[in-house]
Amino acid sequence: MLNENDPTMSAILETVTFIKDHAVTQKEFSDGLAAMRTDLVAVMDTKFTAMRTDLVAVMDTKNNVLADRLISAFEERLSQKSSEVVTHVDAFAALHQKLEQELTALRGKYERLEERLERLERQFPIAHLA
């Protein structure tokens, strides 16, 4: 039935022997698969960590740019408001100075009137109406 001299049978026997000698058992296969899974998880963790780090760096850069824009806009707005406040303070100071000048002018006029009244009273002695 089996003829060892048959070249086809010899090739099949050689192939089966090679497979038997080099094939893995189910345990070896499961262990190898588990090791590959562990290695794959480690590599993926490393890659995801690197991607996360890169993403955080990009986001930090974008956040810094956004923060710089916000700070710049705030400083510009603050400068505008500061300028408005200074303008109002200057206007108030000018108004105060004008009122002070008017008050000084009124004091001068009042003093002149008082002096005039005193001279008239000395020239024309009249009883003071109290």
State how many domains the chain has.
Answer: 1
Within a domain: residue 31?
A: yes
Supply the range of the domain harboring residue 109: 7-123
Q: Average pLDDT in the 71-100 region?
A: 90
pTM for the model stands at 0.41
Within a domain: residue 130?
A: no
Widest Cα–Cα separation across the chain: 170
- Give residue 109's pLDDT: 93
Within a domain: residue 40?
A: yes
Q: Average pLDDT in the 124-129 region?
A: 69
Binned at pLDDT 50, 70 and 90, residue 67 comes out as confident
